[in-house]
Every structure is written in structure tokens, then in C-alpha cells.
Amino acid sequence: MPISTSDDSSKLEFLKSIAPESSEAEVEHKIIVPLLQWLGYESGDWRSQVSFGNSKLDFLIYPEEFKLHCPPFLVIEVKAPDKPINQHGWQINRYMRKVGAMLGLLTNGSSFQLLCRYQDQRRHQDQIVVIANYSASELVENFRLFHNLLCRATCLKVCNVILNNQQRINQKFLIRVAEAFGNQSMLSLFEEQPELSSQSLQKESNLIQRRNKSMIITVFNNKGGVGKTTLTINLAASLARLGKRVLLIDIDAQANLSTGLGIDPLNDVELARKKDITHLLIDPRVKLEDVIYSKRWSHNDLQLDVIPSHIRLSRMENDLTQMVDSDRVLAKKLKNHSYDFVFIDPPPSFGKVNRISLMASNGILVPTQLSSYPIRALEYVLAQAQEVGNYKDDPLPILGVAISMYDQRSNSFNLSMLEKLKDILEKTDGGSQVNIFPEETWIPRLNIVSQCPEKGYPIQEAEFDDHLSSQEREAAQKAMERYDRLASHLIGSIQ
Ligand SMILES: Nc1ncnc2c1ncn2[C@@H]1O[C@H](COP(=O)(O)OP(=O)(O)OP(=O)(O)O)[C@@H](O)[C@H]1O
Ligand SMILES: [Mg+2]
């Protein structure tokens, strides 16, 4: 059970669990393992006693999904409490260089030294610098900084940025190769390239963007209240924290997504003379950028771009139906967007705006609860997805079924519902290829998850709300980890 972060210092009580005469193994079990859990890591994210050469690394933190692409995030070297850590700096320095780890932690359980590796361009070599030295009590005082630097969410974010940049460089290189072969002039590959104009850079970045699997996803389930909007908001925030650029489109007249992100469609949009989704859909002159509202939360450097909705959308069905090529109105407006992920949050019923949403999308995410009615509704969801897919030039795959609001106390009930869900998918046309996201990504039913929309922020911001109790922050942390895993899983499933 992961130990959660909170400003209650008792959460780091385990730091007091060793004595001066304790062994190195005790520091590992009583301090390092709980510390890693507190940082949000799961046992599969790290390996201990990793051999290389004649040496053994105590801990290597390296989430599975990035093993082939990124250097390890963190190396931990552990000493017994009676050994002063300043005599062992050379060892962690050597390990960090050898395995290319980005960060290092050297500890004897009572002193903690944090190290960072960077490349010195002038000397063409890796430099390791000590960034902090803490006693156990100083670590408790600085726990937020320590947590933010070393936690799993930061690790995933950094690895994703590295991965994306690598992909971009590879693609850029391949474009150059292709151009060179196309021109029958391989030699130009090795010539100095002229400075790219901003226009051609834009063109190239659009091309790369498209090849980078930018996704427009409708979060779709015509069963009401299954957690679509809540899941959309928090999943988007997790993706943004992983370095993805995310746009959220509220195309539901209830405007729950807008208000859930602290945007009041009347006061913040209409009375402020700004535009919303209704203007984008109905007015050919209104462009995507005219209706985007950037929401920022400074605590964790989070930004989400949002197109808000308005209740008047509920009276526009007729107007929309009468427009020329009305089903493709949103698809056209999204043609040159530059986001990694666009999420569209439609209403539960299947009407005109759902069709418009699906026609603009290149993937569908289906949230469902593990209970009878929402599961039964999936037959209809799949049929609708297929029907709209037939009208589209590009495929419209179902990226997966995401489980929301499951009850953590009724394991056997959940398993029986899961079987039922699989059964229904098996029996439904096209359903057997639909992937149910794994249990580690399921979102539990937690009060804190339903409180956040009322406060107008995603769950990722709850950690910084001084009005919440430590239990509430603990629950928020737990939910956040699930959304982070769902985000990583979604990225993995579309690559
Ligand atoms: N994981 C969760 N734990 C507890 N409550 C949740 C959770 N997810 C959603 N809720 C609550 O359930 C209710 C329905 O959620 P939400 O509005 O996201 O569903 P929806 O499918 O978008 O609904 P609609 O069909 O009306 O658009 C809301 O009150 C929300 O706060
Ligand atoms: Mg909703």
C-alpha cells in the first residue's frame, strides 16, 4: 500500500525506525523501501542489488515503460548508520556515471545526500553535483521539495520529455534522409543546412506533430453519470504533468467540465465577452484559438487549455442540423491544432453533438463503472462508434475501456462485473478487439475525487489545498497515482 505525501510529518515516521547500531540491510528495508513507496513508486519500478562489473548497486529506479529509451532516473546507495556518508561520495559518483542515472541518493538512514548528473558541454563529460545534504529532520522539513524532485510523477514526466525529444530528433533526421533520397542527392545530407525559415519550421513541426500520434479522443459513453467528465479532467491533468500539450473541449450543455476546471460559463466567458463552444460550432469565422481558455495552476506548473461550453448549446440542435456538412464542423476547426491530446467531453445522450465529436476524433475512450447498467450500455456504445466510424475516412478505434468509480471493498463483485464486461464485449460486434485497461489504472470511488470539481481544480492540485485534511490529501494522492498510470497506459497504447 503506497504511503502518501502530506504535510503531516508523521507520514515520514519511518525515518526514525533505525538505531545507530542498525545494519545496512535494516536501512534498506525500514527506510528506503517505505521512502520509495511514499514517493509513489511500485515494487516493479525499482530493482535492488543490481550487479554491474564487480559492484552491486543498492537500488536502481527505472520504470518498466522507459527501460529501452531513457537512462535510469535514480540510483540509491545505502550505507550502515555508523558509516559517515561523506566518505562514500566517490562510489555513488561512479555508479551514476556508469549507468547514466539522472539523480543519485546516498544515505546511511540518518543523513541524506542528493546528487544530480549533467553534461558539461565544454569538457565533454558528465559532471555530478551535490544538490542537497539533509539530516532526517531536515528532510522532513523539506519534504515537499524532496518529494517533488524524486517522486514517480516527476520521473515519468522527465522520461516522457526525453522520449518525445528523441522521437522528434529521429523524425527530423528521417525527414532529411527522405528529402535527400527524393532529390537523388545524398550528399546534401552532409552539407550545412540553411537556417530554416519560421514558416518551414512550422511546417516541419506540424508534420512531426502528426507523425507523433497526436490524438483527438472523444470520451464516450451514453450512460449518464459514469464519471466521463471527472475522468477527462484528471486524465488530462496527468498527461499535462507528463509534458503533453492538452486541449479539453466541453461540448456538453451541462458545462460540467468547464465548471469543474473553475470556468464559470456565464461570469468568466459570456459576461467577459469571450467565446465558447457554441460560437466555434455555429460561426464559420470563429477559429479554434478564439475560443481557447488557458487555465493555469501555479503550484505544480500545470496548464490545461479548455474550450468552455454554455447552456445555450442545448437549444442549438436544430441550427446545427441545418448547417452544411454539419457533422464535420468540429473536425474542420481542429484540422491544424498543435496539441498532443485533444479530449472531447460530450453529453450522455446520443445526439447531434456526439456525432460531431466522434467525427472529429481519431480515437474513443470509454469510461464505465463496474456495475450492471453501465456495462450493459456498452453494446450500444460500440454500435454507435461503429456506425459513425463507417462515415469517416480515417479509422475510429476504441482505445480502451477505462474503469471509473470502482468500489475498493467489494473485490469479488468487481471481478464478477469484469467477467460480465468481457462477456458483453466478446458477444458484441467488434468488441472482442476492445482492450479493458488493467486494474492498476482503475479509478476508485473516493469522496475527494467528487469534491475537486466543486473546487474548480483537477485532483493533482488537491495536494496544495491547505483547506483539506491530511486524510483527504492522502486520498487525493492515491487517486492521482491511478490517473498517472492511466495516462502512461494511454500513451503506451497509442504508440
Ligand atoms: N472516482 C470517483 N469517486 C467518487 N465520485 C466520483 C468519481 N468520479 C466521478 N464521481 C462523481 O460522480 C458523479 C458523475 O461524474 P461525472 O460528472 O464525471 O460523470 P459523467 O459521466 O460525465 O456524467 P454525465 O453523463 O452527466 O456527463 C459526479 O458527482 C462526480 O463528482
Ligand atoms: Mg459529463
Say which CATH number the domain at 403 has: 3.40.50.300
217 and 150 assigned to the same domain = no
DSSP code of residue 226: S
Q: Out of 222, 314, 450, 457, give the residue to mutate to test ligand 1, the one with the largest number of ligand atoms within 8 Å of its CB.
A: 450
Same domain? For 310 and 447 the reply is yes
What domain range includes position 61? Answer: 9-154
In a domain, 25, yes or no: yes
Q: Report the distance separating Cα 434 and Cα 271, nearest Å.
A: 44
Indicate whether 219 and 143 sit together in one domain.
no
Terminal Cα-to-Cα distance of the chain (whole angstroms): 30
Domain identity same for 150 and 218? no
Task: Examine the domain organization and report whether 358 and 490 are in the same domain.
Answer: yes
Domain-located, residue 191 = no
Q: Whose CA is nearest to atom 25 of ligand 1?
A: 224
**Residue 229 CA to ligand 1 centre (angstroms):** 6
Do 482 and 444 touch, CB atoms closer than 8 A? yes
Tens digit of pLDDT per residue, the chain (495 long)? 444 444 456 678 899 999 999 999 999 999 999 999 999 888 888 999 988 767 788 999 987 777 667 788 999 999 999 998 987 788 888 888 888 899 999 999 999 999 998 876 666 667 888 899 999 999 998 888 899 899 988 888 888 888 777 766 766 676 666 666 664 444 444 444 444 444 444 444 444 344 446 899 999 998 999 999 999 999 999 999 888 899 999 999 999 999 999 999 999 999 999 999 999 999 999 999 999 999 998 776 789 999 999 999 999 989 999 998 899 999 999 999 999 999 999 999 888 999 999 999 999 999 999 999 999 999 999 999 989 988 888 889 999 999 999 999 999 999 999 999 999 999 888 888 899 999 999 999 999 999 999 999 999 999 888 899 888 988 998 899 899 999 988 988 886
φ, ψ for residue 78 (rounded to 5)?
Answer: -115, 140
Predicted TM-score (pTM) of this structure: 0.64
Atom of ligand 1 minimally distant from the CA of 233? 18
Q: Whose CA is nearest to atom 11 of ligand 1?
A: 450
Q: Is residue 71 part of a domain?
A: yes
User: 142 and 263: one domain?
Assistant: no
Q: Are residues 336 and 238 in the same domain?
A: yes
Picking from 430, 435, 432, 327, the residue whose alpha carbon sits closest to that of residue 383 is 430
For residues 477 and 354, membership in a common domain is answered with yes
What is 402-451 written as a DSSP string? EE-SB-TT-HHHHHHHHHHHHHHHHHSTTGGGPPBPPGGGPPBP-HHHHH
Determine, yes or no, domain membership for 161. Answer: no
The verdict on residue 203 lying in a domain is no
Question: Ligand 2: distance of its center to the CA of 121 in Å?
Answer: 50
Domain boundary among 154, 177, 204: 154
List of E strands, 53-102: 55-61, 74-78
Q: How far is the CA of 434 from the centre of ligand 2 (A)?
A: 22
Does residue 391 sit in the same domain as residue 279? Answer: yes
Name the residue of 219, 226, 229, 345 whose CB sits within 8 Å of the most ligand 1 atoms, as the mutation to test its pocket. Answer: 229
56 lies in some domain: yes
- Residue 220 and residue 123 share a domain: no
Asked if the structure places residue 343 within a domain, the reply is: yes
Residue 222 CA to ligand 1 center (angstroms) comes to 13
Q: Give the whole-angstrom CA distance, residue 196 versus residue 206.
A: 14
CATH number, domain of 148, equals 3.90.1570.30
Ligand 2 centroid vs 414 CA: distance in angstroms?
23
Measure 449 CA to ligand 1 centroid, in angstroms. 9
One domain, residues 148 and 222: no
Q: For residue 284, what is the DSSP state?
A: T
Q: How far, in Å, CA of 161 to CA of 43, rounded?
A: 23
197 located within any domain: no
129 and 239 together in one domain: no
Last residue of one domain, picked from the residues 137, 154, 171: 154
Pocket of ligand 1 (CB under 6 A): 224-230, 252, 254, 256, 347-348, 404-405, 443, 445-446, 449-450, 453
- If one counts the domains in the chain, the total is 2
